A = this chain, B = another copy of it.
Amino acid sequence: MENKDDLYPMRHSLAHIMAAAIRRQHEEVKLGIGPVVEHGFYYDIDLDNKKLSETDFPAIEEEMRKIISEDQPFERNMKSIEEAVNWSKESNQPYKEELLNDLKRAGTTVAKDLSPDEFGTITEGNTLVDEVSFYTNGDFTDLCRGPHVSSTKKVGAFKLMRIAGAYWRSKEGNPQMQRIYGVAFATQKELEEYMSMLEEAKKRDHRKLGQELDLFIFSEMVGSGLPLFTPRGTVLREELTAFSNELRQSKGFSKVWVPHMTKSDLYKASGHWDKFGDELFLVKSQETSDELVLKPMNCPHHTRIYASKQRSYRDLPIRYLETTTIYRDEKTGELGGLNRVRSATQDDSHVFCRPDQIEDEIRSLLESARELYEAVGMSLRVRLSYRDESNAYLGSEELWQRAQQQLKSAVESNSLEYFEMNGEAAFYGPKIDFMVTDAIGREHQLATVQLDFVQPERFGLFYIDTDGSEQQPVMIHCALLGSIERFLSVYIEHTAGKFPVWVAPEQVRVASVNQEEKTLEFVAEILSKAQKLGLRIGCDNNNESVGKKIRLAENMKVPYTIVIGEKEIETGEVTPRIRKDMEVQSPSSISIDNFFQTVANEAKSRVSKSSL
């Protein structure tokens, strides 16, 4: 929920207004919960067997606008739990009644699976709730924590978006409700911008582009959440991870390789066995009684390599790098395209260092991150997640304070935009999250730099210090792209499939004007030249018009297309067609050799604009 302070009351008030409008049309409606979500709100309603659809939206919106124009004030009042339960019975609101009863019975514990928005008085600690707040606008009253705008007129611009089935309290077996989503913004202009952003996002949907540009596929026989990458999609994976690796290898990281499965002993030692629980894929050996598991992360394996030799303070930092796949059994309902998959490849790395080396290591990783995100044209800001005052953290407070200071100092020396959040650290160490903004303004959290004081402890890792004593190293986990699949889901939409030359699966396409032997020979000759320069070059020698060939290349978003006919064979010069986004005005005539060399240089320097 972004801009919570500004838009929250407005969006939450719209949820009430929508519920009130639906009740005007369907008196019998039973209400579930109606929280604020990203960009808007929803309300879960139960109309027995009556099914609403998007065709009902105009009428509901009309009624909402009526309520808004009535300028009804939102009034807060408190009831004791008993009164509240009575109210829910009288108003025939069994779902509210259930919530209230749970709340009454269990104090805080019930709050976990519910939005806190539902409660007048949020349950704190183990204090039992005795009063809850209600909000009334016009003749509509709802159990609600608030806050709300002062009157229905102050809700800005909104639009109902979609309707979907949802189990009451998200539990299978519970009654199925209808969830109506709306979006809301302060002004009509912002709403319209959001709507055109959505329109644009739809065009760029990576699942759609993945198919159109032949990047990846899913197969029924292989299963959901398990994408297969075609040659074109594999180029994306390879180029991006090669860059990510290069950025770290130049800073002293060495590649390692670990198997994708392990005895569960490893995760019992690391603590991940409990942490990942149901998300672990268990592996059954038919030959042995080994209890095996697919790795949900790589750090425990990497500690085994660290621990395979005695390390001295002089050997540190030791830096391991590995692009490797982890396995998490995500709920099938949550799988979609590349955004969430069951086997995700990370450009993972682990540093084992002394506490006094943290800052240098983080600085160097942030440098790499900055360079990478500049190259892919996404603006980067970082969130610094610190511990709070509670006792929920492992490792000495002094170590934490020193480490947090080093994190911040490394961020500042990289001139990165940042914000700090207390209480957002993992229990095992503070961290830095990379937040990137894509071409249509959406922010994504992709990768992380995470300090870890706990794995070294659990695995008993040590190094011999100057004085001969055994000291514990700190671990730093870092993936720059994060999961390559998830990164691609963002990057394909960010670029709308118009990849810069260094990433483009096909960098140059050659379209022949005819199929004469002389032409085909010449084409074969220049293809071979281009391949020697390492260019990814495609060729269209089919019996089609040049116009059609150019359109096909455009559809595949190939950066450069050159046409080969009589004239080009004679002069050895071409007039490359350049993809529009690459910001070159008019293509000029250029010798083929020179053209290929220029494109190869562009790829090598990883620029996104054409240098022709």
Contacts and interface: CB of A to CB of B under 8 A. Distances in A.
Interface string A198-225: 0000000000000000100101111100
Contacts of A542: 314
A531 interface: yes
A282 B286 contact: yes
A304 B233 contact: no
Given A217-B305, A228-B305, A261-B294, 10 more contacts: A214-B309, A221-B262, A221-B304, A222-B304, A223-B265, A228-B256, A231-B254, A259-B325, A287-B330, A287-B331
24 contacts: A214-B309, A221-B263, A222-B258, A222-B266, A222-B301, A223-B265, A226-B261, A227-B259, A228-B258, A228-B259, A228-B304, A233-B257, A234-B256, A259-B325, A259-B342, A261-B294, A261-B327, A261-B343, A279-B286, A281-B286, A283-B284, A287-B331, A288-B332, A314-B542
Nearest to A327: B261
Interface of A: 214, 217, 219-223, 226-231, 233-235, 237-238, 250, 254-263, 265-266, 269, 277-288, 290, 292, 294, 300-301, 304-305, 308-309, 314, 320, 325, 327, 329-332, 342-343, 531, 542
A203 to B, nearest CB: 22
A342 to B, nearest CB: 8
A259 B222 CA distance: 9
B231 A329 contact: no
A285 B327 CA distance: 11
Contacts of A234: 254-257
A223 B263 contact: yes
Contacts of A261: 223, 226, 281, 294, 327, 343
Nearest to A319: B231
A314 B540 CA distance: 11
Residue of A219, A301, A304 ringed by the most chain B CB atoms within 10 A: A219
Residue of A214, A256, A300, A330 ringed by the most chain B CB atoms within 10 A: A256
Contact of A230 (B260, B292, B308): B308
Contacts of A280: 286
A301 B255 CA distance: 27
A564 B226 CA distance: 53
A506 to B, nearest CB: 11
Contacts of A290: 223
Nearest to A237: B257
Contact of A257 (B229, B254, B258, B332): B229
Given A234-B254, A283-B281, A265 B220 contact: yes
A260 B222 CA distance: 10
Contacts of A257: 228-229, 233-234, 237
Contact of A222 (B262, B314, B327): B262
A266 B221 contact: yes
B256 A230 contact: yes
Residue of A237, A255, A259, A304 ringed by the most chain B CB atoms within 10 A: A259
A262 B223 contact: yes
Nearest to A252: B531
A230 B314 CA distance: 19
Residue of A228, A229, A265, A531 ringed by the most chain B CB atoms within 10 A: A228
A542 B330 CA distance: 50
A360 to B, nearest CB: 15
A424 B467 CA distance: 65
A250 to B, nearest CB: 7
A287 B332 contact: yes
B231 A320 contact: yes
Given A221-B304, A250-B531, A262 B226 contact: yes
Nearest to A331: B287
Contacts of A531: 250
A527 B605 CA distance: 24
B278 A287 contact: yes
A334 to B, nearest CB: 10
A304 B238 contact: no
A283 B296 CA distance: 14
Nearest to A536: B254
Given A214-B309, A231-B255, A308-B217, A283 B278 contact: no
A304 B259 CA distance: 25
A214 to B, nearest CB: 7
Nearest to A216: B257
Contacts of A226: 259, 261-262
Residue of A266, A329, A332 ringed by the most chain B CB atoms within 10 A: A329
A67 to B, nearest CB: 42
Nearest to A306: B230
> A-B pairs with the 4 shortest C-beta distances?
A231-B254, A229-B257, A223-B263, A282-B284
A455 B76 CA distance: 70
Contacts of A294: 261, 283, 294
Given A217-B305, A256-B229, A222 B286 contact: no
A277 B286 CA distance: 9
A221 B260 contact: no
A80 to B, nearest CB: 42
A533 to B, nearest CB: 12
A281 B288 CA distance: 11
A359 to B, nearest CB: 20
A320 B217 CA distance: 15
